[in-house]
Amino acid sequence: MVDDTSSDAEIIAASLIDPDCFGLLFERHFQAVFSYAVRSIGVVEGEEIASEVFVQAFSSRRRFDLGYRSARPWLLGIASNLVSTRYRSFERRNRAHRRAFGRDYETEEFETEVADRVDASSHSERARAALAALRPPERTVVLLFIFGGLSYQEIADVLDLREGTVKSRLSRGRANLRNALADIGEQWGNDE
């Protein structure tokens, strides 16, 4: 039987016979998934997503590739899909708003406006506004990298992309975030 020393793959394989084994995976990775989700999209949505990830993972565990020893990238991939869906739902609601202002082009003015529209009193809100202004492909990769702690290769596996594509999206994301976050960095620099 499986125990604390078993690999994630062994636990998932065992859970196909004894579903209760899947609980071990929860104890092992809930903290990381929760942190990723909450940091990516905020407490209310993140909390729901963290819970939903394990329910989805359990029901789709037969699709887990047992060649991978760790399930963390797989779990974060599920979380990433859920985060993207929430962002998209939010964007769909606000798309009308953006269109009415003719801001459906990628201009620096648009990004600035998005950032300004948020009640930007705190750094974390400003940071989330900057993330929200990224293009979805870049945002997904950036979130998995900075909050999920996944490597280039792990992100590539999770999103079914080439490693080079992951690197280029990270590079574009970094460039786009640089201006939006520059003032926070300067402020911290002054505080130090």
Residues 6+ apart with CB under 8 A from 74: 57, 64, 65, 68, 158
Phi, psi at 101, each rounded to 5°: -95, 0
Specify whether the CB–CB gap between 73 and 149 falls below 8 A: no
Gyration radius (Cα) of the chain, Å: 19
Distance in Å, CB of 68 to another protein, minimum: 15
Q: How far is the CB of 177 from another protein (least distance, A)?
A: 4
Task: Output 6 or 51, the one with its CB closest to another protein.
Answer: 51
Residue in the structure block whose two tokens are 């994630």: 8
150 vs 180 by CB, closer to another protein = 180
Give me the least distance between CB of 88 and another protein, in Å please: 8
How many degrees, rounded to 5, is the angle at CA 178 between CA 119 and CA 83?
60
Q: Which is nearer to another protein, 6 or 56 (CB)?
A: 56
- Minimum distance from CB of 123 to another protein (Å)? 4
